[in-house]
Amino acid sequence: MDVSTWTIKEAGEKLASGALSAEALTRSCLDTIEQGDTDVKAFLNVSETALEEARAIDVRRAAGESLGSLAGIPVGTKDVILVQDWETTGGSRILEGYNAPYDATAVERLRAAGAILLGRTNCDEFAMGSSNENSHYPPTTNPWDKTKVPGGSSGGSAAAVAAGFVPAALGSETGGSVRQPASLCGIVGLKPTYGRVSRYGLMALSSSMDQIGPLAHTVEDVALLLQAIEGRDPKDGTSAELSNTTIPALIEKDVSGMTLGVPKEYFASGMDSQVAAVVNEAIAELERAGAKIQEISMPHSEYALAAYYIIQPAEASSNLGRFDGLRYGYHSGGENLQETYERTRGEGFGKEVKRRIMLGSYTLSAGYYDAYYRKALKVRTLIKRDFDEAFKNVDAIVCPTSPTVAWNIGEKFDDPLSMYLADIYTVTANLATIPGMSVPCGFVDGLPVGLQILAKPFDEYALFRIGATYQDRTNWHKQSPT
Amino acid sequence: MKLTREEVLKIAKLARLHLEEEDIAKYQEDLGSILSYVEKLQELNTDDVPEFQHAAGSVNMFREDVVENCDPDVRRRAIDNFASREGDLLKVQAVFENRTE
């Protein structure tokens, strides 16, 4: 049984009709991982109870019980999302041996929908990175070319779906960590509006931007996952009461009458010309489908990355203060408490995490706070205003997800700034708190390219409508690495 | 721009990070190049621009002021993660030293 190209929808239909059991599907995923993951290295661990949970779903189905929308569907989860009793490390040495005491709300809701939690996927340490190379564990590779990076930080989740190990996975975003690896691995990845999905049980990186987001082959599958995990959660004060719950059946595959903005700043310097050509062709396809295309300007775009790399490390330096070597994970004892902290954190954190903690400590320190942090918050307002202005005239924005296709492993590893530039087109959505999605739209030299779609806060339907229309007219998402 | 060795050591101290001697020079360079890049923001006049402060847009998310105990199993599992404990208490080295009365 080759499940590698199955969507949730296809697998779900087979499960519902009895043509396939959840146990067989789960076993097939586990076998595929065992055979194929030695060189992709997408999973850090697979669940020991997955088969048992799948059998329980089969029993309930046989008994005629009504089951959730994801009943029997195996899902991978990024190693920053807590799954009770699993070792959950954030891809960091500092959480080695830490066993999650409870399920994240998103995980609890996946379980309630009947999903089988299959295993935890590799990621950049505490979600800081764009290539997966910052993981404490061996880096995940890109299933399309194993000498290339899968993107990051949810690279393990993206590679697991692209390689056909699981039909879907959860990742998390702070500056593009779902959309960018989705783009580089040729799948769909969604960053929901800030507040749409509870972050309870998600390791905090930058609390004013973090969101959990789904990855899958199709827009419809991503909508199914969002439907399962979204909505108000009393355990996350920033989670919103939703006025428009996602109902995948409502997604129209029609963009006629929609106006799509193309920001000229998103095709500026650093943009690979072949990637630009592929994205422009995707935009032309949407025009043929009936959308009106309008060039727009987002004048502060070029400042977004700089603002992001002040705000995010500042929040990270504060959030990661909790890792003290005492309450969880790695511990390296010193002569006194100060030395224990310094040793534990010095040995437990990797280089990029230390770099960002120091950067954040610097920009928040006395004498620099106004020039860096306060300034960045003001620029964040300007970026938000750019989007508010744009959405007065357009229904959504279409542009590239990443300025390039996947690069060689090691290529940018020693140059943090060039790594940061990989996020240049994705950080804006996080700064502005709006939803964004990457949809596969072609290839350059055999490597996938993603079309990014951005919409107003809580208008995920616009993303789904545009993405589903595009996928209805193209076959890029049906291709899989050999 | 490159940070001085003293600046890197000072922020490492503030952030409670032990740095290996051989890494310090690289941090001076890396942090310097990132800080030079973010200097770009100074080009913008933001005198009349308010700071962006509320990502969620929600205000005053109150709940009743009542004690809600943690699920005892969750509590047990959280405590099991402690590096060192006495009973259910987290055991740590002295926080204040050289205390004079």
Each residue's pLDDT tens digit, A252-293: 999 999 999 999 999 987 899 999 999 999 999 999 999 999
| Average pLDDT value for residue range A183-210 | 98
Contacts of B33 in chain A (CB under 8 A): 416-417
Residue among A358, A417, A428 with most chain B CBs within 10 A, to mutate: A358
Chain pair A-B, CB pairs under 8 angstroms: 164
Contacts of A237 in chain B (CB under 8 A): 56, 58, 61
CA A222 to chain centre: 11
Q: Does A236 touch chain B (CB under 8 A)?
A: no
Pairing, β A436-444 against β A292-296: unpaired
More confident residue, A220 or B63: A220
Each residue's pLDDT tens digit, A294-340: 999 999 999 999 999 999 999 999 999 999 999 999 999 999 999 99
Q: How far apart are CA A347 and CA A341, in angstroms?
A: 10
Q: Are A162 and A169 in contact (CB under 8 A)?
A: no
Which residues touch A108 (CB under 8 Å, ≥6 apart)?
none
Q: Which residues of A form the catalytic set? A: 78, 153, 177
Q: How far apart are CA A345 and CA B63, in angstroms?
A: 35
Mean pLDDT check: name the lowest of A174-188, A218-232, B53-67: B53-67
CA distances from A307 to A124, A267, A372, A422, B51 (A): 21, 20, 8, 15, 12
Interface of A with B in 80-99 (CB under 8 A): 84-85, 98-99
Q: Does residue B101 have a pLDDT over 60?
A: no
Task: Compare CB distances from B55 to A238, A341, A362 and report the shortest one's residue.
Answer: A238
Domains of chain A: 8-261+394-478 (3.90.1300.10)
Q: Please report, for chain B, the start and end positions of each structural domain, with discontinuous segments joined by +.
A: 5-43
pLDDT of B56: 79
Helical H runs in A230-336? 273-288, 301-319
Q: Which one-letter amino acid corresponds to residue A32? A: T
Query: What is the ipTM score, two decimals?
Result: 0.93
Q: Does residue A482 have a pLDDT over 70?
A: yes
Interface touch B51/A306, C-beta < 8 Å: no
Each residue's pLDDT tens digit, A49-79: 999 999 999 999 999 999 999 999 999 999 9
Each residue's pLDDT tens digit, A168-192: 999 999 999 999 999 999 999 999 9
Interface of A with B in 131-190 (CB under 8 A): none
**For all residues of chain A together, what is the average pLDDT?**
96
Return the CA Rg of chain B: 23
Q: How far apart are CA B27 and CA A416, in angstroms?
A: 11
User: Is residue A147 classed exposed, middle or buried when 0-12, 13-18 and 19+ CB atoms within 10 A define those classes?
Assistant: exposed
Choose among A275, A294, A283, A251: nearest CA to A470.
Answer: A283
Q: Are A176 and A427 in contact (CB under 8 A)?
A: yes
Q: Does residue B100 have a pLDDT over 70?
A: no
Angle made by CA atoms A379, A384, A388, in degrees to the nearest 5: 145
Distance from CA of A236 to the nearest CA of B (A): 10
